[in-house]
Amino acid sequence: MHHAPPRFELPRVGIVVTCHNYRAYVEDAIRSVLAQTYQRWTCVIVDDASTDGSTDHVRQLLHEIGDPRLSHLVRSQNGGQLAAFRDGLAASDAPFVAFLDADDIWLPNFLVAHLSAHLNATRPAAMSSSDVYLVDRDRTVLSGTYLMLRKPRSRTDASGMATTPCKQLGEMAPEIAYASEYPITYFGPEAYGWMWAPTSSMVFRRGALEPVLAFPFKSRMGTDYLAATCAHLAAGSLILSECLGLYRLHGASVTAGAAYAGGHVQQSPGYRAHEMTMGKDVLDYVLADAERLGAINGRHFVPGFLSRHVKRFGDLGSDSRLLPFLDRRSRWRRLRKRLTQGLRGLFTKV
């Protein structure tokens, strides 16, 4: 008698749509979730105490749609995007988590492209990020790429490794089969610096994201920077070159301020002023989690990361907690620099 082998299950994705006063856009975001070709998902819309009618609008919309995979969580007080992330993560136990800002839109193959990349047969990563089209408030396309995404452009990035989705898995499970002509690049945890597109381009493994969102960060801005930078340290990132979403530039976002002029998307002055706080938050996270990160990536990993991070955020170099992670030469250089600064301050007063 022939016995068929038991069929494995493909992973679910927990989707979190974060909304604060985006009544004009949130329906587009929700309908882009419903249009996904990969259907193994649940989605919670977290309303962060909106005051523009978003709450009632979403409640009515979900009633009309009637899809049990959609749920609505309304916060009584505004806690910022990080608090909304945490509430959304707690609402699902799916092994993969994706965040969608309520003013952005996914293209139909967003989830299947990310899942097929994550389930590759080369390097499992902590997270993935794909390219996006930049659009204005009316969804007019302004750019065909997000320039800060570290995908192959004029030349190959030597620190990245080309990766392909698992063909064997796609043959066994057509739901996850996805063929794309666009490169996928893996960057290991040792790769430093921003390499992703914004929040709505990212898919995380729950195991990499949970310890990050459990950490008591002080910043209320730059949640995508904190989540991506810290989760990446666990197992690196997959960068999908394909544009799989629409990233909206408009007057209510942190990237607002002026019409898009090409090149890099300019952050608002308030966001830039907050960068040192975010850098300090990452430092605090790495120091608190140094033992685990060292066990995962080797004993030289944390000192190497801290060296690059302090170089990027120079004012953090005076933190005494860094001393155990510095070699003897670095400690002497640091001491000499502090002495020099002290003497200069003394003579300036005189």
Which residues of the chain register pLDDT less than 70?
1-6, 155-158, 252-258, 327-350
The structural domains of the chain, with segments of one domain joined by +, span: 13-257, 286-349
Q: If you search the block for the tokens 């920077």, which residue do you land on?
A: 225
Residues 6+ apart with CB under 8 A from 137: 24, 248, 249, 250, 251
Residues 6+ apart with CB under 8 A from 82: 213, 217, 219, 220, 223, 226
Q: Which CATH number describes the domain made up of 13-257?
A: 3.90.550.10
What Å distances lie between residue 200 and 38, 192, 243, 309, CA to CA? 17, 21, 12, 25
Predicted local confidence at residue 332, as pLDDT? 47
Q: How far apart are CA 169 and CA 166, in angstroms?
A: 6
pLDDT in tens, 150-167: 999 876 666 788 887 777
3-state secondary structure 198-253: CHHHEEEEHHHHHHHHCCCCCCCCCHHHHHHHHHHHHHCEEEEEEEEEEEECCCCC
Predicted local confidence at residue 296, as pLDDT? 95
**41 and 12 in contact (C-beta within 8 Å)?**
yes
Q: How far apart are CA 163 and CA 254, in angstroms?
A: 33
pLDDT in tens, 291-343: 999 999 999 999 999 999 999 998 898 898 998 887 655 554 554 555 555 55
